[in-house]
Amino acid sequence: MDERLMQFRIGVMVLASIMIAAILVVTFGEWRWPFPSEYTIYIKFAEAPGVAERTPLRKSGIVIGRVTEVKLTPEGEVLVTARIERRYLLRRNEVCRLNRAILGDPMLEFARSPDPNAPSDPVREGDVMQGIVPPDPIVVFTNLQDRLVTAIDSVTKTSDELGR
């Protein structure tokens, strides 16, 4: 085989290997693709239990983005930074609700706001949205248990008074 042809083939293999390695680093690493296909939004929560980097953001059951950063503000709120794929449009008349999957994993879900007067203009790069945290079912059950004990005590006391 010709020496020049062999050197050319080796050069092509080296370039192809470098390109594949760069694509893998961008895809699976911390680096971002040089042509952004996502936009950043910020979501404020009173509390955000379990939310961390890479927590999924969903709209109508479809993953539309991921959390990139979670930090505490000086006011004591939680500020979540999220990257949303550009092909998914969020609107101001949608709210971000912190939900949990069946196994307890947190996820942020966008749904239509209960306020019919909320503006429907699109959310833009860098906008801040307010998030909603529904009550924890365990806390609700504990509060219900306390109220149930009070109600049972009241019924017992009333029946004792009627029995006299």
Element (H, E) at 62: strand 62-72
What is the SS3 assignment for 81?
A: strand
Instruction: Judge whether residue 79 has pLDDT over 80.
Output: yes
Query: Rounded CA gap, 157 and 151, in Å?
Result: 10
pLDDT level of residue 32 (50, 70, 90 thresholds): low
pTM: 0.66
Which has more confidence, 117 or 138? 117
pLDDT tens column, 84-114: 998 898 998 999 999 887 777 888 999 888 8
Please state whether 21 falls in left (phi above 0), alpha (psi between -120 and 50) or beta: alpha
Query: Rounded CA gap, 70 and 143, in Å?
Result: 29
Which has more confidence, 15 or 25? 15
Mean pLDDT over 59-74 rounds to: 93
The token duo for 153 is: 């005590």
